[in-house]
């Protein structure tokens, strides 16, 4: 089995087993729940909408990450965040992958300074991934590790990992996954269970909304006491939470993909179509010309790429193909008009006669006299 297939199986295993295998730590009943929409009335992202296969694109964003553990007694701790999210395709295979790892930017070397409190703002974990299957698997870990446990090679690895953002397309990202996951495994092993470790492993709910992962016991957590500020800060009875670590994740669902031009196969097909149009010039208006036939072939190729790419949901693929065809047809219509007067008529009053005629440089006095 491939690495991704093994990892997908891991995410679909019981949470206790998954956490033990990935993070080498005991699973606790931390909060990992959707926030009721009424607890975030001013946040549109809190609205809950079912995610439907072959219809919706999923965007997952870590809106707020807080690790308040910078000092425990005389020991210094540094915060590290790691997440991996996988979306399977309609054949059940793991295809879309995003990985994100970050560490306190103040940790440039192991020194005598205490680590800064880790607070990170919005970070995209998954962008416009087509939901073509039945599950979205995720691991999210918030780690506070004693500074003395860091080794310089590991620190270098983490700094490299922190520069890698989300992977957008099915065709990319596999090569990044294994070293990132191995890196966080090494981090947990070095930490030896010291400090604070908050981890979630499992399938994300198939509903758009606000998802909270927090290192507080589920049994003592009551949503009637918690809510969110406009910047996604978690509030307890109106005051910002500072006594436990948490991550606020938004899961959004959309029916159209705005960045479709960035899909590698479509970008190449669109470039070929663009080259054919430019090479045809005015012959694009001649339905029998070889240039027009080349344009039609390039357009069909683009439409086929739209239909077969796993990066687009079916209805959205039709929308993109229709946009391309409509654009070409509009250009052909314009070319058919040529430079006829009706294509570029402007009203000009000449000699007070009110005669309307085509635009001419003769109508413009380039050197007006005073």
What is the DSSP track for 93-145?
Answer: -EEEEEEEEEE-TT-SS--SSPPPPEEE--EEEEEEEE--SS-EEEEEEEEEE
Residues 246 and 265 in one domain: no
Q: What share of the chain is helix, strand, coil (3-state, %, to 5)?
A: 35, 30, 35
* Inter-residue contact 216 to 42 (CB < 8 Å): no
Distances (CA, A) of 161 to 37, 99, 262: 34, 9, 24
Contacts of 14 (CB under 8 A, 6+ apart): none
- Give the lowest-confidence range in 4-13, 147-156, 355-364: 355-364
Backbone φ and ψ of 174, nearest 5°: -60, -40
Residues 6+ apart with CB under 8 A from 160: none
Q: Are residues 127 and 59 in the same domain?
A: yes
The encoded tokens of residue 55 equal 């219809």
Is the dihedral angle over the CA atoms 100, 105, 108, 111 positive or is it negative?
A: negative
- Specify if 126 maps to a domain: yes
The parent domain of residue 145 ranges over 3-254
Structure tokens at 219: 């049994």
Q: Give the model's pLDDT for residue 342.
A: 45
Count of C-beta atoms within a 10 Å radius of residue 355: 10
Tokens found for residue 25: 């730590």
Looking at the domain assignment, is residue 227 inside a domain? yes
Confidence band for 7, pLDDT divided at 50, 70 and 90: low
Tell me the two tokens of residue 361.
């440089």
Question: Is pLDDT above 60 for 362?
Answer: no
Query: Per the domain annotation, does 352 fall within a domain?
Result: no
98 versus 219: which is more confidently predicted? 219
User: What's the sign of the alpha-carbon dihedral 318, 321, 323, 328?
Assistant: negative
If one counts the domains in the chain, the total is: 2
Token pair belonging to 123 = 């970070």
Residue 183 is predicted with a pLDDT of: 55
- Residue at a domain's end among 254, 289, 317: 254
Q: How confident is the model at residue 140 (pLDDT cuts 50, 70, 90)?
A: confident
247 with 298, same domain? no
Q: What is the pLDDT of residue 356?
A: 32
Q: How far is CA 105 from each of CA 55, 188, 251, 279, rounded to the nearest angstrom?
A: 39, 19, 26, 51
Closest by CA to 355, choosing from 368, 341, 367, 334, is: 341
- Report residue 319 as tokens: 């929308």
Tell me whether residue 323 is in a domain: yes
Closest CA to 270 of 327, 329, 334, 335: 327
Average of per-residue pLDDT values in the chain = 74
Is there a single domain that holds both residue 43 and residue 129?
yes
β-partners of residue 197 are 143
- 304 and 190 in a single domain? The answer is no
Q: Is residue 185 part of a domain?
A: yes
- Res. 333: pLDDT tops 70: yes
In a domain, 109, yes or no: yes
Beta bridge partners of 236: 226, 239
Beta bridge partners of 358: 345
pTM here is 0.74
- The pLDDT confidence band at residue 109, using thresholds 50, 70 and 90, is very low
- Residues 197, 114 within the same domain: yes
d(CA 319, CA 307): 10
Q: Is 79 found in the same domain as 12?
A: yes
Residue at which a domain ends, from 207, 230, 254: 254
Exposed, middle or buried by CB within 10 Å (0-12, 13-18, 19+), for 358? middle
What's the mean pLDDT in 271-288?
92
User: 172: alpha, beta or left, given left = phi > 0 and alpha = psi -120 to 50?
Assistant: beta
Position 336 confidence tier, pLDDT thresholds 50, 70, 90: confident
Is 212 in a helix, a strand, or coil? strand
Q: Are residues 64 and 166 in the same domain?
A: yes
Q: For residue 87, how many C-alpha atoms fall within 13 Å in the half-sphere facing its CB?
A: 32
369 is a domain residue? no
Read off the DSSP letter of residue 36. Answer: P
d(CA 215, CA 212): 10
Q: Say if residues 210 and 35 touch (Cβ distance below 8 Å).
A: yes
Statement to judge: residues 232 and 264 lie in one domain: no
Residue 345 belongs to some domain of the structure:
no
Is the domain of 220 the same as that of 96? Answer: yes
Same domain, 235 and 301: no
298 and 215 part of one domain = no
**More confident position, 102 or 337:** 337
pLDDT band at 350; cut points 50, 70, 90: very low
d(CA 196, CA 6): 27
pLDDT the model gives residue 235: 95
């Amino acid at each position: 089995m491939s690495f991704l297939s093994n990892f997908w199986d891991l995410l679909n295993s019981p949470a206790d087993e998954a956490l033990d295998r990935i993070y080498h730590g005991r699973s606790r009943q931390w909060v990992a729940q959707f926030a009721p929409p009424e607890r975030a009335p001013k946040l549109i992202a809190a609205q809950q909408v079912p995610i439907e296969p072959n219809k919706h694109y999923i965007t997952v964003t870590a809106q707020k990450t807080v690790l308040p553990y910078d000092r425990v007694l005389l020991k210094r701790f540094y915060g590290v965040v790691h997440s991996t999210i996988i979306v399977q395709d309609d054949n059940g295979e793991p295809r879309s992958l995003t990985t994100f790892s970050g560490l306190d930017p103040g940790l440039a070397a192991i020194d005598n300074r205490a680590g800064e409190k880790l607070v990170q703002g919005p970070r995209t974990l998954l962008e416009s991934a087509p939901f073509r299957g039945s599950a979205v698997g995720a691991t999210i870990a918030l780690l506070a590790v004693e500074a003395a446990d860091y080794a310089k090679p590991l620190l270098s690895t983490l700094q490299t990992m922190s520069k890698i953002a989300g992977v957008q397309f099915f065709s990319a990202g596999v090569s990044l996954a294994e070293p990132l996951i191995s890196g966080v495994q090494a981090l947990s092993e070095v930490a030896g269970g010291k400090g604070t470790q908050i981890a979630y492993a499992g399938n994300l709910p198939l509903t758009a909304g606000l998802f909270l992962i927090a290192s507080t016991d589920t049994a003592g957590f009551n949503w009637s006491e918690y809510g969110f500020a406009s910047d996604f800060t978690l509030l307890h009875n109106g005051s910002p939470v500072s006594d436990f670590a948490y991550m606020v994740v938004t899961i959004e669902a959309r029916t159209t993909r705005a960045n479709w031009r960035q899909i590698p196969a479509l970008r190449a097909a669109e470039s070929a179509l663009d080259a054919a149009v430019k090479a045809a010039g005015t012959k694009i208006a001649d339905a029998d010309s070889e240039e027009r036939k080349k344009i039609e072939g390039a357009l069909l190729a683009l439409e086929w790429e739209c239909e077969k790419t796993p990066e687009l949901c079916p209805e959205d693929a039709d929308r993109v193909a229709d946009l391309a065809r409509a654009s070409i047809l509009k250009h052909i219509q314009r070319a058919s008009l040529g430079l006829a007067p009706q294509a570029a008529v402007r009203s000009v009053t000449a000699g007070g006669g009110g005669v309307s005629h085509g635009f001419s440089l003769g109508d413009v006095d380039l050197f007006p006299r005073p």
